[in-house]
Structure 1
Amino acid sequence: MLSNPIEQFNIVTLFPFSLFGPKYTISLTNSSFYMLLTCFCLLLIAGGAISFKKVFPDRWQVFVESIYDFLFINLVTEINGKKGRLFFPLVFTLFLFIALGNLIGMVPFSFTFTSHIIITLGLSLSFFIGLTIYGIYTHGIRFLLLFIPKGVPIILLPLLFVIESISYISRGFSLAIRLFANMMAGHALVKILAGFAYIMLQIGGIFYMLEIVPIIIITAIYVLELGVAVLQAYVFSVLICIYLNDVIYLH
Protein backbone atom coordinates (compact mmCIF):
# COMPACT_ATOMS: atom_id res chain seq x y z
CA MET A 1 0.00 0.00 0.00
CA LEU A 2 1.27 3.47 -0.80
CA SER A 3 1.69 5.81 2.14
CA ASN A 4 -0.26 8.72 0.60
CA PRO A 5 -2.34 9.45 -2.52
CA ILE A 6 0.35 11.71 -4.03
CA GLU A 7 3.12 9.11 -3.88
CA GLN A 8 1.72 7.36 -6.94
CA PHE A 9 2.80 10.38 -9.03
CA ASN A 10 6.49 10.19 -8.03
CA ILE A 11 9.05 9.86 -10.81
CA VAL A 12 11.14 6.75 -10.19
CA THR A 13 14.32 5.80 -12.04
CA LEU A 14 14.05 2.28 -13.44
CA PHE A 15 17.36 1.99 -15.32
CA PRO A 16 19.93 4.66 -14.37
CA PHE A 17 22.27 5.84 -17.09
CA SER A 18 24.52 8.91 -17.03
CA LEU A 19 26.15 10.61 -19.98
CA PHE A 20 29.24 12.80 -19.46
CA GLY A 21 28.95 12.67 -15.69
CA PRO A 22 26.13 12.52 -13.14
CA LYS A 23 24.72 15.90 -14.17
CA TYR A 24 23.71 14.62 -17.60
CA THR A 25 21.46 11.64 -17.15
CA ILE A 26 19.23 9.91 -19.68
CA SER A 27 17.93 7.32 -17.27
CA LEU A 28 14.76 5.41 -18.05
CA THR A 29 12.08 6.48 -15.56
CA ASN A 30 8.60 5.14 -14.98
CA SER A 31 7.20 8.12 -16.88
CA SER A 32 9.35 7.58 -19.97
CA PHE A 33 8.78 3.83 -19.81
CA TYR A 34 4.98 4.21 -19.92
CA MET A 35 5.26 6.75 -22.73
CA LEU A 36 7.29 4.24 -24.73
CA LEU A 37 4.76 1.54 -23.84
CA THR A 38 1.95 3.79 -25.04
CA CYS A 39 3.74 4.42 -28.34
CA PHE A 40 4.25 0.67 -28.78
CA CYS A 41 0.56 -0.01 -28.10
CA LEU A 42 -0.40 2.75 -30.54
CA LEU A 43 1.68 1.17 -33.29
CA LEU A 44 0.35 -2.25 -32.41
CA ILE A 45 -3.28 -1.13 -32.54
CA ALA A 46 -3.17 1.10 -35.60
CA GLY A 47 -0.57 -0.91 -37.50
CA GLY A 48 -2.15 -4.24 -36.70
CA ALA A 49 -5.55 -3.10 -37.93
CA ILE A 50 -4.26 -2.29 -41.42
CA SER A 51 -1.77 -5.15 -41.77
CA PHE A 52 -4.32 -7.94 -42.16
CA LYS A 53 -5.13 -8.66 -45.77
CA LYS A 54 -8.71 -9.79 -45.41
CA VAL A 55 -11.65 -9.36 -47.74
CA PHE A 56 -13.92 -8.94 -44.72
CA PRO A 57 -12.33 -7.08 -41.80
CA ASP A 58 -12.53 -8.58 -38.31
CA ARG A 59 -14.03 -6.83 -35.30
CA TRP A 60 -10.77 -5.28 -34.22
CA GLN A 61 -10.17 -3.71 -37.62
CA VAL A 62 -13.75 -2.46 -37.70
CA PHE A 63 -13.26 -0.91 -34.25
CA VAL A 64 -10.09 0.94 -35.29
CA GLU A 65 -11.66 2.03 -38.56
CA SER A 66 -14.66 3.36 -36.61
CA ILE A 67 -12.34 5.54 -34.54
CA TYR A 68 -10.62 6.63 -37.75
CA ASP A 69 -13.90 7.57 -39.44
CA PHE A 70 -15.23 9.33 -36.36
CA LEU A 71 -12.14 11.51 -35.99
CA PHE A 72 -11.87 12.15 -39.72
CA ILE A 73 -15.51 13.04 -40.39
CA ASN A 74 -16.96 14.28 -37.10
CA LEU A 75 -13.87 16.05 -35.82
CA VAL A 76 -11.29 17.17 -38.35
CA THR A 77 -13.49 17.62 -41.43
CA GLU A 78 -16.46 19.11 -39.56
CA ILE A 79 -14.34 21.67 -37.67
CA ASN A 80 -11.59 22.46 -40.19
CA GLY A 81 -13.09 21.54 -43.56
CA LYS A 82 -11.01 20.22 -46.44
CA LYS A 83 -7.98 22.32 -45.54
CA GLY A 84 -7.75 20.64 -42.17
CA ARG A 85 -7.52 17.13 -43.58
CA LEU A 86 -3.79 17.66 -44.02
CA PHE A 87 -3.47 17.53 -40.22
CA PHE A 88 -5.64 14.47 -39.68
CA PRO A 89 -2.74 12.03 -39.11
CA LEU A 90 -1.46 14.34 -36.39
CA VAL A 91 -4.85 14.58 -34.67
CA PHE A 92 -5.44 10.83 -34.98
CA THR A 93 -2.07 10.04 -33.41
CA LEU A 94 -2.58 12.64 -30.69
CA PHE A 95 -5.95 11.22 -29.70
CA LEU A 96 -4.71 7.64 -29.52
CA PHE A 97 -1.57 8.63 -27.63
CA ILE A 98 -3.44 10.50 -24.89
CA ALA A 99 -6.31 8.00 -24.70
CA LEU A 100 -4.02 4.98 -24.48
CA GLY A 101 -1.76 6.72 -21.96
CA ASN A 102 -4.74 7.53 -19.76
CA LEU A 103 -6.21 4.02 -20.02
CA ILE A 104 -2.89 2.30 -19.31
CA GLY A 105 -2.56 4.52 -16.26
CA MET A 106 -5.84 3.12 -14.94
CA VAL A 107 -4.24 -0.32 -14.56
CA PRO A 108 -3.40 -0.90 -10.87
CA PHE A 109 0.25 -0.22 -9.94
CA SER A 110 0.91 1.44 -13.30
CA PHE A 111 1.83 5.09 -13.94
CA THR A 112 -0.13 7.87 -15.64
CA PHE A 113 2.30 10.23 -17.35
CA THR A 114 -0.50 12.67 -18.22
CA SER A 115 -0.90 13.38 -14.50
CA HIS A 116 2.32 15.43 -14.63
CA ILE A 117 2.07 19.07 -15.68
CA ILE A 118 5.48 19.00 -17.36
CA ILE A 119 4.31 16.29 -19.77
CA THR A 120 0.99 17.90 -20.65
CA LEU A 121 2.59 21.35 -20.85
CA GLY A 122 5.27 20.11 -23.21
CA LEU A 123 2.64 18.41 -25.35
CA SER A 124 0.31 21.42 -25.49
CA LEU A 125 3.04 24.01 -26.05
CA SER A 126 4.56 21.98 -28.87
CA PHE A 127 1.21 22.03 -30.68
CA PHE A 128 0.61 25.68 -29.83
CA ILE A 129 3.99 26.80 -31.13
CA GLY A 130 3.69 24.58 -34.19
CA LEU A 131 0.26 25.95 -35.11
CA THR A 132 1.48 29.52 -34.60
CA ILE A 133 4.47 28.95 -36.90
CA TYR A 134 2.16 27.39 -39.49
CA GLY A 135 -0.19 30.37 -39.29
CA ILE A 136 2.63 32.87 -39.73
CA TYR A 137 4.09 30.82 -42.60
CA THR A 138 0.70 30.60 -44.35
CA HIS A 139 -0.66 34.12 -43.84
CA GLY A 140 2.40 36.23 -43.13
CA ILE A 141 1.60 39.60 -41.57
CA ARG A 142 -2.13 38.90 -42.03
CA PHE A 143 -1.85 36.46 -39.15
CA LEU A 144 -2.19 39.47 -36.82
CA LEU A 145 -5.81 39.77 -37.98
CA LEU A 146 -6.51 36.86 -35.64
CA PHE A 147 -6.08 39.30 -32.74
CA ILE A 148 -8.26 42.06 -34.23
CA PRO A 149 -12.03 41.41 -34.06
CA LYS A 150 -14.08 42.68 -36.96
CA GLY A 151 -16.17 45.84 -36.61
CA VAL A 152 -14.25 47.18 -33.61
CA PRO A 153 -13.72 50.97 -33.30
CA ILE A 154 -10.15 52.06 -34.00
CA ILE A 155 -9.79 53.61 -30.55
CA LEU A 156 -10.35 50.19 -28.91
CA LEU A 157 -7.99 48.25 -31.19
CA PRO A 158 -4.85 48.51 -28.97
CA LEU A 159 -6.73 47.30 -25.89
CA LEU A 160 -8.49 44.47 -27.71
CA PHE A 161 -5.26 43.45 -29.41
CA VAL A 162 -3.59 43.00 -26.03
CA ILE A 163 -6.58 41.10 -24.63
CA GLU A 164 -6.80 38.79 -27.65
CA SER A 165 -3.04 38.19 -27.54
CA ILE A 166 -3.19 37.16 -23.88
CA SER A 167 -6.20 34.95 -24.60
CA TYR A 168 -4.34 33.32 -27.50
CA ILE A 169 -1.19 32.65 -25.46
CA SER A 170 -3.21 31.19 -22.58
CA ARG A 171 -4.50 28.44 -24.87
CA GLY A 172 -1.27 26.50 -24.59
CA PHE A 173 -1.41 26.56 -20.80
CA SER A 174 -5.13 25.87 -20.46
CA LEU A 175 -4.80 22.68 -22.51
CA ALA A 176 -2.05 21.39 -20.24
CA ILE A 177 -3.78 22.32 -16.98
CA ARG A 178 -7.11 20.78 -18.01
CA LEU A 179 -5.63 17.39 -18.84
CA PHE A 180 -3.22 17.32 -15.92
CA ALA A 181 -5.78 18.39 -13.31
CA ASN A 182 -8.44 15.90 -14.39
CA MET A 183 -6.11 12.92 -14.44
CA MET A 184 -4.34 13.76 -11.19
CA ALA A 185 -7.55 14.51 -9.29
CA GLY A 186 -9.25 11.32 -10.46
CA HIS A 187 -6.35 9.07 -9.50
CA ALA A 188 -5.92 10.78 -6.14
CA LEU A 189 -9.62 10.35 -5.36
CA VAL A 190 -9.54 6.63 -6.18
CA LYS A 191 -6.46 6.21 -3.98
CA ILE A 192 -8.04 8.06 -1.05
CA LEU A 193 -11.17 5.92 -1.17
CA ALA A 194 -9.09 2.75 -1.51
CA GLY A 195 -7.11 3.74 1.57
CA PHE A 196 -10.32 4.41 3.45
CA ALA A 197 -11.64 0.94 2.56
CA TYR A 198 -8.34 -0.63 3.63
CA ILE A 199 -8.52 1.10 7.03
CA MET A 200 -12.08 -0.13 7.56
CA LEU A 201 -10.89 -3.65 6.74
CA GLN A 202 -8.11 -3.40 9.31
CA ILE A 203 -10.43 -2.15 12.05
CA GLY A 204 -12.79 -5.09 11.60
CA GLY A 205 -16.07 -5.52 13.46
CA ILE A 206 -19.01 -3.63 12.05
CA PHE A 207 -16.64 -1.65 9.82
CA TYR A 208 -15.72 -4.90 8.08
CA MET A 209 -19.37 -5.31 7.07
CA LEU A 210 -19.66 -1.67 5.99
CA GLU A 211 -16.61 -1.94 3.74
CA ILE A 212 -18.88 -2.81 0.83
CA VAL A 213 -19.97 0.85 0.71
CA PRO A 214 -16.57 2.38 -0.23
CA ILE A 215 -15.88 -0.58 -2.53
CA ILE A 216 -19.05 0.18 -4.48
CA ILE A 217 -18.10 3.86 -4.61
CA ILE A 218 -14.57 3.03 -5.76
CA THR A 219 -15.91 0.77 -8.52
CA ALA A 220 -18.30 3.47 -9.73
CA ILE A 221 -15.59 6.13 -9.72
CA TYR A 222 -13.16 3.78 -11.46
CA VAL A 223 -15.65 3.18 -14.27
CA LEU A 224 -16.22 6.93 -14.45
CA GLU A 225 -12.47 7.52 -14.67
CA LEU A 226 -12.25 5.14 -17.61
CA GLY A 227 -14.73 7.35 -19.43
CA VAL A 228 -12.90 10.49 -18.34
CA ALA A 229 -9.62 9.05 -19.68
CA VAL A 230 -11.07 8.81 -23.20
CA LEU A 231 -13.08 12.01 -22.85
CA GLN A 232 -10.01 14.06 -21.96
CA ALA A 233 -8.22 12.76 -25.04
CA TYR A 234 -11.24 13.76 -27.14
CA VAL A 235 -11.46 17.22 -25.53
CA PHE A 236 -7.74 17.79 -26.10
CA SER A 237 -8.12 16.82 -29.76
CA VAL A 238 -11.24 18.96 -30.23
CA LEU A 239 -9.52 22.04 -28.83
CA ILE A 240 -6.49 21.44 -31.03
CA CYS A 241 -8.83 21.29 -34.04
CA ILE A 242 -10.55 24.52 -32.96
CA TYR A 243 -7.21 26.29 -32.60
CA LEU A 244 -6.19 24.89 -35.98
CA ASN A 245 -9.39 26.29 -37.49
CA ASP A 246 -8.51 29.75 -36.18
CA VAL A 247 -5.03 29.49 -37.67
CA ILE A 248 -6.26 28.29 -41.07
CA TYR A 249 -9.18 30.69 -41.54
CA LEU A 250 -8.14 33.51 -39.14
CA HIS A 251 -11.52 33.52 -37.34
Structure 2
Amino acid sequence: MLSNPIEQFNIVSLIPFNFMGFRYNISLTNSSLFMIITCFTIVLVTCGVISFKKVFPNNWQVFVESIYDFLFTNIVTEINGKKGRLFFPLIFTLFLFISIGNLIGMVPFSFTFTSHIVITLGLSLSFFIGLTITGIYMHGFHFLSLFVPKGVPIVLLPLLFVIEFISYVSRGFSLAIRLFANMMAGHALVKILAGFAYVMLTANGIIPLLEFIPIFIITAIYVLEIGVAILQAYVFSVLICIYLNDTLYLH
Protein backbone atom coordinates (compact mmCIF):
# COMPACT_ATOMS: atom_id res chain seq x y z
CA MET A 1 0.00 0.00 0.00
CA LEU A 2 1.24 3.46 -0.87
CA SER A 3 1.56 5.91 2.00
CA ASN A 4 -0.19 8.73 0.09
CA PRO A 5 -1.99 9.18 -3.26
CA ILE A 6 0.87 11.24 -4.74
CA GLU A 7 3.54 8.61 -4.14
CA GLN A 8 2.44 6.66 -7.23
CA PHE A 9 3.65 9.55 -9.42
CA ASN A 10 7.24 9.57 -8.09
CA ILE A 11 9.98 9.15 -10.68
CA VAL A 12 12.29 6.33 -9.58
CA SER A 13 15.69 5.66 -11.13
CA LEU A 14 15.91 1.97 -12.02
CA ILE A 15 19.28 1.87 -13.78
CA PRO A 16 21.41 4.93 -12.86
CA PHE A 17 23.59 6.25 -15.65
CA ASN A 18 25.34 9.61 -15.86
CA PHE A 19 26.84 10.85 -19.12
CA MET A 20 30.02 12.96 -18.98
CA GLY A 21 30.43 12.43 -15.28
CA PHE A 22 27.41 13.80 -13.49
CA ARG A 23 26.63 16.53 -15.98
CA TYR A 24 23.87 14.65 -17.82
CA ASN A 25 21.61 12.16 -16.08
CA ILE A 26 20.16 9.70 -18.62
CA SER A 27 19.22 6.98 -16.16
CA LEU A 28 16.48 4.49 -16.94
CA THR A 29 13.50 5.49 -14.81
CA ASN A 30 10.11 3.90 -14.26
CA SER A 31 8.62 6.52 -16.60
CA SER A 32 11.00 5.75 -19.46
CA LEU A 33 10.62 2.01 -18.84
CA PHE A 34 6.85 2.12 -19.30
CA MET A 35 7.23 4.31 -22.39
CA ILE A 36 9.50 1.62 -23.84
CA ILE A 37 6.95 -1.04 -22.88
CA THR A 38 4.24 1.01 -24.59
CA CYS A 39 6.30 1.27 -27.78
CA PHE A 40 6.91 -2.49 -27.84
CA THR A 41 3.20 -3.07 -27.22
CA ILE A 42 2.33 -0.87 -30.20
CA VAL A 43 4.66 -2.93 -32.38
CA LEU A 44 3.10 -6.17 -31.13
CA VAL A 45 -0.45 -4.86 -31.61
CA THR A 46 0.09 -3.58 -35.15
CA CYS A 47 2.46 -6.25 -36.47
CA GLY A 48 0.73 -9.12 -34.70
CA VAL A 49 -2.56 -8.55 -36.55
CA ILE A 50 -0.93 -8.76 -39.98
CA SER A 51 -1.41 -12.24 -41.32
CA PHE A 52 -1.13 -13.11 -45.00
CA LYS A 53 -1.79 -16.81 -44.47
CA LYS A 54 -5.44 -16.43 -43.45
CA VAL A 55 -8.25 -15.75 -45.88
CA PHE A 56 -10.48 -14.40 -43.12
CA PRO A 57 -9.06 -12.19 -40.34
CA ASN A 58 -9.42 -13.19 -36.72
CA ASN A 59 -11.31 -11.17 -34.12
CA TRP A 60 -8.21 -9.34 -32.91
CA GLN A 61 -7.29 -8.27 -36.42
CA VAL A 62 -10.85 -7.06 -37.04
CA PHE A 63 -10.69 -5.04 -33.82
CA VAL A 64 -7.43 -3.30 -34.73
CA GLU A 65 -8.59 -2.70 -38.30
CA SER A 66 -11.77 -1.13 -36.92
CA ILE A 67 -9.67 1.33 -34.91
CA TYR A 68 -7.58 2.00 -38.02
CA ASP A 69 -10.66 2.61 -40.19
CA PHE A 70 -12.32 4.79 -37.53
CA LEU A 71 -9.29 7.05 -37.19
CA PHE A 72 -8.72 7.20 -40.94
CA THR A 73 -12.33 7.84 -41.98
CA ASN A 74 -14.05 9.58 -39.08
CA ILE A 75 -11.19 11.70 -37.79
CA VAL A 76 -8.34 12.34 -40.22
CA THR A 77 -10.24 12.33 -43.52
CA GLU A 78 -13.37 14.02 -42.15
CA ILE A 79 -11.44 16.84 -40.46
CA ASN A 80 -8.50 17.31 -42.84
CA GLY A 81 -9.71 15.93 -46.17
CA LYS A 82 -7.37 14.28 -48.65
CA LYS A 83 -4.41 16.44 -47.66
CA GLY A 84 -4.56 15.12 -44.12
CA ARG A 85 -4.17 11.49 -45.19
CA LEU A 86 -0.44 12.05 -45.51
CA PHE A 87 -0.31 12.59 -41.73
CA PHE A 88 -2.50 9.61 -40.84
CA PRO A 89 0.37 7.29 -39.74
CA LEU A 90 1.44 9.97 -37.26
CA ILE A 91 -2.09 10.38 -35.86
CA PHE A 92 -2.59 6.61 -35.67
CA THR A 93 0.68 6.13 -33.80
CA LEU A 94 -0.12 9.04 -31.48
CA PHE A 95 -3.51 7.56 -30.58
CA LEU A 96 -2.04 4.13 -29.88
CA PHE A 97 0.82 5.58 -27.83
CA ILE A 98 -1.42 7.60 -25.54
CA SER A 99 -4.25 5.07 -25.23
CA ILE A 100 -2.00 2.04 -24.64
CA GLY A 101 0.18 4.03 -22.24
CA ASN A 102 -2.90 5.08 -20.29
CA LEU A 103 -4.30 1.54 -20.19
CA ILE A 104 -1.00 0.04 -19.07
CA GLY A 105 -0.96 2.64 -16.31
CA MET A 106 -4.28 1.26 -15.06
CA VAL A 107 -2.62 -2.04 -14.15
CA PRO A 108 -1.93 -2.12 -10.39
CA PHE A 109 1.66 -1.30 -9.39
CA SER A 110 2.46 0.01 -12.88
CA PHE A 111 3.25 3.61 -13.84
CA THR A 112 1.31 6.14 -15.93
CA PHE A 113 3.80 8.38 -17.71
CA THR A 114 1.01 10.63 -19.05
CA SER A 115 0.30 11.73 -15.47
CA HIS A 116 3.45 13.89 -15.60
CA ILE A 117 3.24 17.34 -17.13
CA VAL A 118 6.80 17.12 -18.47
CA ILE A 119 5.83 14.15 -20.67
CA THR A 120 2.54 15.56 -21.94
CA LEU A 121 4.08 19.01 -22.45
CA GLY A 122 6.96 17.57 -24.43
CA LEU A 123 4.53 15.56 -26.55
CA SER A 124 2.15 18.45 -27.22
CA LEU A 125 4.87 21.03 -27.87
CA SER A 126 6.61 18.72 -30.33
CA PHE A 127 3.40 18.50 -32.36
CA PHE A 128 2.74 22.22 -31.97
CA ILE A 129 6.20 23.18 -33.20
CA GLY A 130 6.06 20.58 -35.98
CA LEU A 131 2.69 21.83 -37.25
CA THR A 132 3.90 25.43 -37.11
CA ILE A 133 7.01 24.60 -39.15
CA THR A 134 4.87 22.67 -41.63
CA GLY A 135 2.49 25.61 -42.00
CA ILE A 136 5.32 28.06 -42.61
CA TYR A 137 6.89 25.67 -45.13
CA MET A 138 3.62 25.24 -47.02
CA HIS A 139 2.31 28.83 -46.98
CA GLY A 140 5.32 31.04 -46.28
CA PHE A 141 4.43 34.49 -44.92
CA HIS A 142 0.79 33.84 -45.78
CA PHE A 143 0.75 31.61 -42.68
CA LEU A 144 0.39 34.83 -40.65
CA SER A 145 -3.14 35.17 -42.04
CA LEU A 146 -4.09 32.50 -39.52
CA PHE A 147 -3.88 35.22 -36.87
CA VAL A 148 -6.00 37.69 -38.84
CA PRO A 149 -9.75 36.88 -38.96
CA LYS A 150 -11.52 37.84 -42.16
CA GLY A 151 -13.47 41.07 -42.27
CA VAL A 152 -11.69 42.65 -39.30
CA PRO A 153 -11.50 46.47 -39.31
CA ILE A 154 -7.97 47.83 -39.58
CA VAL A 155 -8.33 49.62 -36.24
CA LEU A 156 -8.92 46.33 -34.39
CA LEU A 157 -6.33 44.38 -36.38
CA PRO A 158 -3.36 44.76 -33.95
CA LEU A 159 -5.45 43.80 -30.92
CA LEU A 160 -7.05 40.79 -32.61
CA PHE A 161 -3.67 39.70 -33.98
CA VAL A 162 -2.25 39.58 -30.45
CA ILE A 163 -5.32 37.72 -29.15
CA GLU A 164 -5.20 35.17 -31.97
CA PHE A 165 -1.46 34.68 -31.48
CA ILE A 166 -1.86 34.05 -27.75
CA SER A 167 -4.72 31.66 -28.47
CA TYR A 168 -2.56 29.84 -31.00
CA VAL A 169 0.42 29.51 -28.64
CA SER A 170 -1.80 28.30 -25.80
CA ARG A 171 -2.80 25.27 -27.86
CA GLY A 172 0.36 23.40 -26.99
CA PHE A 173 -0.08 24.05 -23.27
CA SER A 174 -3.80 23.28 -23.17
CA LEU A 175 -3.22 19.86 -24.76
CA ALA A 176 -0.60 18.98 -22.18
CA ILE A 177 -2.55 20.25 -19.17
CA ARG A 178 -5.77 18.49 -20.20
CA LEU A 179 -4.15 15.07 -20.56
CA PHE A 180 -1.94 15.43 -17.48
CA ALA A 181 -4.70 16.73 -15.20
CA ASN A 182 -7.24 14.07 -16.16
CA MET A 183 -4.85 11.17 -15.70
CA MET A 184 -3.34 12.44 -12.46
CA ALA A 185 -6.71 13.31 -10.90
CA GLY A 186 -8.23 9.97 -11.90
CA HIS A 187 -5.37 7.90 -10.51
CA ALA A 188 -5.29 9.91 -7.29
CA LEU A 189 -9.04 9.37 -6.85
CA VAL A 190 -8.68 5.61 -7.38
CA LYS A 191 -5.88 5.49 -4.81
CA ILE A 192 -7.90 7.44 -2.24
CA LEU A 193 -10.94 5.22 -2.69
CA ALA A 194 -8.77 2.10 -2.55
CA GLY A 195 -7.29 3.22 0.76
CA PHE A 196 -10.78 3.98 2.08
CA ALA A 197 -12.03 0.55 0.99
CA TYR A 198 -9.08 -1.16 2.69
CA VAL A 199 -9.79 0.69 5.94
CA MET A 200 -13.47 -0.23 5.78
CA LEU A 201 -12.73 -3.91 5.21
CA THR A 202 -10.35 -4.09 8.15
CA ALA A 203 -12.44 -1.98 10.53
CA ASN A 204 -14.90 -4.75 11.58
CA GLY A 205 -17.85 -2.38 11.42
CA ILE A 206 -21.28 -2.83 12.93
CA ILE A 207 -22.90 -3.72 9.60
CA PRO A 208 -20.53 -6.01 7.61
CA LEU A 209 -22.47 -5.46 4.39
CA LEU A 210 -21.61 -1.75 4.39
CA GLU A 211 -17.92 -2.64 4.29
CA PHE A 212 -18.27 -3.79 0.70
CA ILE A 213 -19.87 -0.57 -0.54
CA PRO A 214 -16.45 1.10 -1.17
CA ILE A 215 -15.47 -1.96 -3.22
CA PHE A 216 -18.40 -1.41 -5.57
CA ILE A 217 -17.65 2.30 -5.75
CA ILE A 218 -13.97 1.84 -6.59
CA THR A 219 -14.86 -0.77 -9.20
CA ALA A 220 -17.20 1.70 -10.91
CA ILE A 221 -14.57 4.47 -10.72
CA TYR A 222 -11.94 2.11 -12.10
CA VAL A 223 -14.11 1.22 -15.11
CA LEU A 224 -14.83 4.93 -15.61
CA GLU A 225 -11.09 5.69 -15.49
CA ILE A 226 -10.46 3.11 -18.21
CA GLY A 227 -12.98 4.94 -20.38
CA VAL A 228 -11.30 8.26 -19.57
CA ALA A 229 -7.92 6.79 -20.54
CA ILE A 230 -9.20 5.96 -24.03
CA LEU A 231 -11.25 9.16 -24.29
CA GLN A 232 -8.22 11.34 -23.54
CA ALA A 233 -6.28 9.67 -26.35
CA TYR A 234 -9.22 10.32 -28.67
CA VAL A 235 -9.54 13.98 -27.61
CA PHE A 236 -5.78 14.54 -27.99
CA SER A 237 -5.84 13.04 -31.51
CA VAL A 238 -8.93 15.00 -32.57
CA LEU A 239 -7.46 18.30 -31.38
CA ILE A 240 -4.20 17.58 -33.21
CA CYS A 241 -6.24 16.97 -36.37
CA ILE A 242 -8.11 20.27 -35.85
CA TYR A 243 -4.81 22.12 -35.47
CA LEU A 244 -3.51 20.28 -38.53
CA ASN A 245 -6.54 21.51 -40.48
CA ASP A 246 -5.57 25.11 -39.65
CA THR A 247 -2.04 24.37 -40.82
CA LEU A 248 -3.19 22.88 -44.12
CA TYR A 249 -6.00 25.26 -45.06
CA LEU A 250 -5.51 28.28 -42.76
CA HIS A 251 -8.87 30.13 -42.42
Tell me the TM-score normalized by structure 1.
0.98
| Kept in 2: contact 1:200–1:208 (CA 8 A) | no
| Kept in 2: contact 1:201–1:207 (CA 8 A) | no
Query: What is the CA distance between 1:47 and its match in structure 2?
Result: 1.1
Tell me the equivalent position of 2:120: 120
SS of aligned partner of 1:50: coil
Tell me the equivalent position of 1:101: 101
Matched, 1:161 2:161: yes
| Kept in 1: contact 2:14–2:28 (CA 8 A) | yes
| Kept in 2: contact 1:147–1:165 (CA 8 A) | yes
| Kept in 2: contact 1:13–1:29 (CA 8 A) | yes
Matched, 1:13 2:46: no
Tell me the equivalent position of 2:50: 50
Tell me the equivalent position of 1:176: 176
What CA deviation, in whole Å up to 9, does each residue of 1:146-199 have, x standing for no partner?
Answer: 000001111100000000000000000000000000000000000001111111
Query: What is the CA distance between 1:15 and its match in structure 2?
Result: 1.2
Letter in 2 for 1:49: V
What CA deviation, in whole Å up to 9, does each residue of 1:29-74 have, x standing for no partner?
Answer: 0000000000000000011112443211111111111000000000
Tell me the equivalent position of 1:243: 243
Tell me the equivalent position of 1:33: 33
Query: What is the CA distance between 1:25 and its match in structure 2?
Result: 2.1
Q: Distance in 2 between matches of 1:217 and 1:206?
A: 20
| Kept in 2: contact 1:200–1:207 (CA 8 A) | no
Letter in 2 for 1:110: S
Q: Distance in 1 between matches of 2:65 and 2:200?
A: 46
Over 6 Å off, 4+ runs: none
Tell me the equivalent position of 1:218: 218
Q: Distance in 1 between matches of 2:100 and 2:239?
A: 18
SS of aligned partner of 1:56: coil
| Kept in 1: contact 2:17–2:27 (CA 8 A) | yes
Q: Which runs of 5+ in 2 are unaligned?
A: none
| Kept in 2: contact 1:35–1:101 (CA 8 A) | yes
| Kept in 1: contact 2:98–2:233 (CA 8 A) | yes
Two-structure CA RMSD over aligned residues (Å): 1.0
Tell me the equivalent position of 2:78: 78
Tell me the equivalent position of 1:65: 65
Tell me the TM-score normalized by structure 2.
0.98
| Kept in 2: contact 1:101–1:114 (CA 8 A) | yes
| Kept in 1: contact 2:205–2:211 (CA 8 A) | no
SS of aligned partner of 1:5: coil
Identity, in percent, stands at 80
Tell me the equivalent position of 1:137: 137
